[in-house]
Structure 1
């Protein structure tokens, strides 16, 4: 156990900014950018060597959001429908999700959002990807 702590101590200064709970908006935004890069790299590949890092950073972001933002107590589909209503969007306004058939399946609950779609929705609505997970 002591050996593992020594190993961490040797690299901590290099990784502490991405492995610590963010306490400022600047730190939070930095972690969001890193998470976006990891999502692009890893996608849905749970066996990717960086998948645990992506999960850890996601948890750190969630911790910050739970303390600083009101989190919707709703399912991802309900959040999507709410945001669509707020922006007066129709199914046609969600072309980044895929074809109209794909969008229809998502909105009817027949298909779940994938990582790419979650990222696109987060960017479109200027919200954290976590609201769609």
Structure 2
């Protein structure tokens, strides 16, 4: 009986091995049918592991970003280069002073290969103007206005 080349992922070490193998296959440039099948199988196994071990919902978007930065050995200056923004802007994001823009969310999701929804969730921002209050934070969510107020601004 032959041994299977790939099995269901059961450990973080195996997950990393399969992720590295997938990356090598993708960048190898080979377009033959066996390579495509191998890429599809590895992708399926990795996605299954991710779905079962996903802790994104437990983290707010900034905690998730900090965790991903740590996993990729990135510093704030590296993130600033990736996002094409200043180090000050990135610092404000990482310190909960500014929210994530749509453009930043797109770039992060693409770079870290996660869904945009992982970064596009509400979380509390620290607002310096309210720092004298005990709970100096606001939710980073869109505010809804009723139609009468919206018309008043026109």
Please identify the structure whose Cα radius of gyration is greater: 2
Q: TM-score, normalised by structure 2?
A: 0.41
User: Structure with the greater relative contact order (CA < 8 A, sep ≥ 6): 1 or 2?
Assistant: 1
Structure with greater helix share of residues: 1
